[in-house]
Every structure is written in C-alpha cells, then in structure tokens.
Amino acid sequence: MSSYLALDLGLTRTGVALSESGIVAHPLGVITVTPPHRQELLEKVCEYVKEYGVETIVIGIPLTREDESTEQSTKVQAIIDELESALKVQGTTPALVKVNEFGSTRAATQNHPQLDDNAAAAALILQAYLDEQA
C-alpha cells in the first residue's frame, strides 16, 4: 500500500499531513523555518519520505479560484523545484502532485479550529486528493 504525504507550503510554516492507508489523511505537524533558509524544510520532508515510505507527495499550490498563478504560487514553485532536487540527491523519487489549494487554510480554520491551521490545511488537501483517486 502506498503512503502519501501532503504539504501546505509556506515561506515560514509548512503544514504536513500523512496517509499510510491511501484512504484517510491526518495532520502530521508543521515545519517552521526562517527564510531564506529552506534547507531544514527540505531535510525534514526527505526524512518523512524515508520514514513513511512515501510514494506520492501532494503539494498545495496557492492559485486563484480560476487556477491562475499568483506571486505566492511562483515562490512555492521555487520551493518545489528545490525539494525535487533534494529528493533526487537522496535517491528517492516519489511522485510530486500539485493541486490548487485555494481556500484550504480558511476551510481548515473553520472545520478544525482545535488543530494548527497549516497542518489541518495539509490534511484537507490530501484528503481531497485521496477522495478524487477513489
């Protein structure tokens, strides 16, 4: 069975969620970094990939409702490019799937006020992806 990791990438806080069943996503936590030092983020994601045997990483891209790029989505794409390189260096090549995460943080805050909004947003992003695959 495949493990899935989801990232709600931010410049300082990245929400992380996991699904080992491929059916249900749950928040895993938040990775906090100080820009422009993303090495910690890349290392932690690589650790999760190895630890959980992740085969697919679902990454939320902050596009508009109409799937158009934003200034933030350009910054997030740069992080994704760095992550892809870091994973290759480590010899792991999970599939990277990008999805529009429009409204995910707002939905996370409303639906899961007891959870960190970044981690909850990552879980919502992953659950939506898993539901589409079913």
Q: What is the CATH number of the domain that holds 61?
A: 3.30.420.140
pLDDT value at 1 more than 70: no
pLDDT at 111: 77
Number of domains in the chain: 1
| CA neighbours closer than 13 Å in the CB half-sphere of residue 121 | 25
pLDDT digits (tens, 9 = 90+) for 33-83: 987 778 999 999 999 999 999 999 999 998 988 989 999 899 999 999 999
**Coil, helix or strand for 99?**
strand
List, for residues 87-117, the tens digit of each pLDDT value.
999 999 999 999 998 877 777 777 777 778 8
The domain of 112 spans 3-133
> What average pLDDT score do residues 13-33 get?
95
Written in H, E and C, the secondary structure of 9-60 is CCCCEEEEEEECCCCCCEEEEEEECCCCCCHHHHHHHHHHHHHHCEEEEEEE
pLDDT given for residue 31 in this prediction: 96
Q: What is the pTM of this model?
A: 0.91
User: Where is pLDDT greater, at 133 or 112?
Assistant: 133
Peptide bond into 35 cis (omega under 30): no
Residue 11 clears pLDDT 90, i.e. is over it: no
| Token pair of 24 as six digits | 């249900």
The dihedrals phi and psi of 64, each to the nearest 5 degrees, come to -75, 175
Specify the pLDDT at position 48. Answer: 97
